[in-house]
Amino acid sequence: MPPALGDIEQLDCCKLLGVIFQSNFKMDSNIQFILSHYAQKVYLLKLLRHRGLSDTQLSVIAFAVISRLLYVLPA
């Protein structure tokens, strides 16, 4: 990284509009965030199935989760 300018704080990464930008221009932090976020959603679906939700109810919840992923993915 270049030397600091005065009181300006330097960051290795920052989140802007839901996308994590890194100082080295890699996307691994953003991809890791997305994978962990949706792993939590899959775990939630497993818990709901274990608690006795019907397949119809689970499919509605899964569709909501997947449609949000498909909405964000092209960006």
Q: How confident is the model at residue 48, as a pLDDT?
A: 92
Contacts for 4 with CB less than 8 Å, ≥ 6 apart: 10
Annotate 15-27 with DSSP letters as a single string.
EETTEEEETT---
pTM of the model: 0.61
| Residue 54, pLDDT score | 92
Tens-place pLDDT, residues 18-39:
788 888 888 888 788 888 888 9
Q: What is the pLDDT of residues 38-68, one digit of tens each?
A: 898 889 899 999 999 999 999 998 888 877 7
State how far the Cα of 60 lies from the Cα of 57, in Å rounded to an integer.
5
**CA 19/CA 62 separation, integer angstroms:** 23
Please, are residues 20 and 13 in contact by the beta-carbon 8 Å criterion? yes
The confidence score (pLDDT) of residue 1 equals: 62
**Predicted pLDDT of residue 25:** 80
